[in-house]
Amino acid sequence: MRRLLFLTATLIAVVCGGAVSITRAAPPHFEVMLLGFDAARHLLSRTGFAATPAEIDTFSRLTREQAVERLLAATDKPRVTPPPAWVTEPVTPASQVRTMSVEERQAWQRRNVARGLEMRGWWLQEMVATPSPLTEKMALFWHNHFVSSQQKVRQPQYLYRQNVLLREHALGSFGHFLQAIARDPAMVIYLDNASNRKGQPNENFAREVMELFTLGEGQYSERDIKEAARAFTGWSIDGEKGEFLFRSLAHDDGEKAVLGSIGNFDGDAVLDILLAQPQTAEFIVRKLWREFVSPEPDAVEVKRVANAFRDSRYDIRVALRALLNSDAFYAPKYRAALVKSPVDLVVGTLRQFQFTTTDVQPFALTVAQLGQNLFAPPNVKGWPGGEAWINSTTLLARKQFLDRLFNASDMRPAMMLAAPPLANQAVQGAPINAMRQRLMRAMAEIQFDSHGWLQRAGNEPAQLQRVVLAMAPQHALPATATGIDVIRRLTQDPVYQLK
């Protein structure tokens, strides 16, 4: 039953041809310009997770366009990790929740928490195992855009279904995506639209759809929000079935004025008005820029990509192509400009070094301890990311995690598990403790074949450095360092926190 899970699925295909790299030395008049090693590494670490030497080598022999098309084509591949069995169970009907005794309710909440942890484990495992890291990157990008949290939504089936929806639309039409997310039960619950009724509007969804999903702050008035909220009245859920339900009796079908347009708008009409604003394309592209390129978007480039995005009727692939095929994306000043998220650090390390383990799911807890609790972003704005990922606690926790992985320390595993990362209600204790136990076992038995890996990666310190780090290390390797010692030093270097 203990099936060995291969953490990276894609590495077997190509045998790395040693450490020889193809650099992009070709002068501009050459028709075919290949990426070369460093650019390929950059592309893979930004669009996915830290790549193996073999993966980098494969991509180094492609042109920019070929590389991006290959990444996009891979997103059509199906998921490889089966979800927990309960995801297809119907949600507990609201009427049943209301009549639960104290004990029943506690048991129900405990089950929700336990399942939420399983769901985090499922996603983490998929990120580690997927042949298409870009799929996971984009699903996570949208999870942090169309935020919903289990802390409020509670029943994990809702969030699983939302995750499936994020994947379905992640590289499709942003317009269709927006319409779907506005009807997504998890979102309806998370932003209180179930209580948005004619005569008693709840503005939460209307505010966030403008501020966080489309236009960005300052591009609308409070009046626009009030009017838009009326258009979304009646967009509710059927609490018995757990499905979206339009309650026509609760809908206000009167005239509304939103961003200069007047009419008897319903929710879809308001979404169309938002999509017609040029700010929407720019707002999304700026966010894509911060995810893929650098913390500070370049206004000219954003405009160019946003125009292409809007002209394509919001085809997300078009925006990605325009962004990833640009000179700006590969500009030296943006290399190593981004801080790795906890997911980047944990998943990237497990993938790049091809760790093997029988149980990768509890690493979702590590990711949470480092500040990225999947399915539970801190608030509707999502994780702020960037430098905010790094403080004294998280930096030491990152270093200690890496130290433990590469087995250089005699610290007891319990110490890295001392602080509970999740909510503090007593009801959550038992399932989290169980997951913590699993993490301790997983940390104890996880394997790194340093000998084989070093052979494949090339063994030569200067080349290892180019595989492992996005730029030269802060602390230069001593001339005497070899083998696993090089890896330990590089992964403890501050530059390892960058991508």
Partner 1 sequence: MNRRDFLSATAASSVLAWLPQPALAAVDYRKLLILIELKGGNDGLNTVIPYADAQYAALRPHIAVARDQVLQLDEFTGLNPSLSSLMPLWKAGELGVVQGVGYPAGNLSHFRSIEIWETASKSNEYLQEGWLTRAFDQSPVPRTYAADAVVVGSPEVGPFAGNGTRTIALTNTEQFLQQARLAVGAGQAHNRALSHILRVENDIVQAAANLNTNHVFRTAFPQTGFGNAVRTASQVIASKAGVAAIKLSLNGFDTHSGQTGTHTNLLKTLADGLAALKAALSELGRWDDTLIATYAEFGRRPRENASGGTDHGTANAHFVLGGAVKGGLYGARPAFDRLDGNGNLPFAVDFRSIYATVLERWWGVSAVAAMRGRFTTLDVLKA
Residues of this chain that bind partner 1 (CB under 8 A): 102, 106, 149, 151-152, 295, 336-339, 369, 378-381, 384, 386-388, 390-397, 399-400, 403, 411, 415, 418-419, 421, 423-426, 471, 474-475, 492, 494-495, 497-498
Residue 247 or 399 having the CB closest to partner 1: 399
Residue 172 or 378 having the CB closest to partner 1: 378
Q: Which residues partner with 34 through β-bridges?
A: 63
Residue 10 or 491 having the CB closest to partner 1: 491
Spatial separation of the C-alpha atoms in residues 239 and 484, rounded to whole Å: 55
Residues 6+ apart with CB under 8 A from 302: 282, 285, 286, 289
- Provide DSSP, 381-445: T----GGGG--HHHHHHHHHHHHHHTT-----GGGGG-S--S---GGGHHHHHHHHHHHHHHHHH
Contact between 331 and 345 (Cβ < 8 Å): no
- The helix (run of H) or strand (run of E) holding residue 453 is helix 450-457
Q: How far is the CB of 461 from partner 1 (least distance, A)?
A: 19
Contact between 274 and 217 (Cβ < 8 Å): no
Spatial separation of the C-alpha atoms in residues 281 and 213, rounded to whole Å: 11
Residue 97 or 390 having the CB closest to partner 1: 390
Q: How far is the CB of 83 from partner 1 (least distance, A)?
A: 26
Spatial separation of the C-alpha atoms in residues 499 and 72, rounded to whole Å: 20
Residue 179 or 492 having the CB closest to partner 1: 492
Q: How far is the CB of 367 from partner 1 (least distance, A)?
A: 13
Dihedral angle, C-alpha 290, 293, 294, 296, nearest 10 °: -60
Q: How far is the CB of 417 from partner 1 (least distance, A)?
A: 11
234: region left, alpha or beta (phi > 0 left; psi from -120 to 50 alpha): left
Q: How far is the CB of 27 from partner 1 (least distance, A)?
A: 29
- Helix-strand-coil split of the chain, %, nearest 5: 55, 5, 35
Tokens of 337: 């400009």
Q: How far is the CB of 207 from partner 1 (least distance, A)?
A: 8
Residue 451 or 475 having the CB closest to partner 1: 475
Residue 395 or 440 having the CB closest to partner 1: 395
Q: Which of 162, 217, 79 is nearest to 375 (CA)?
A: 162
Residue 313 or 475 having the CB closest to partner 1: 475
Which residue's entry shows tokens 């999509």? 275
Cβ of 451: how many Cβ atoms within 10 Å?
Answer: 11
Q: How far is the CB of 398 from partner 1 (least distance, A)?
A: 9
Q: How far is the CB of 77 from partner 1 (least distance, A)?
A: 32
Q: How far is the CB of 152 from partner 1 (least distance, A)?
A: 7
Tokens of 442: 């997983």
Residue 297 or 458 having the CB closest to partner 1: 297
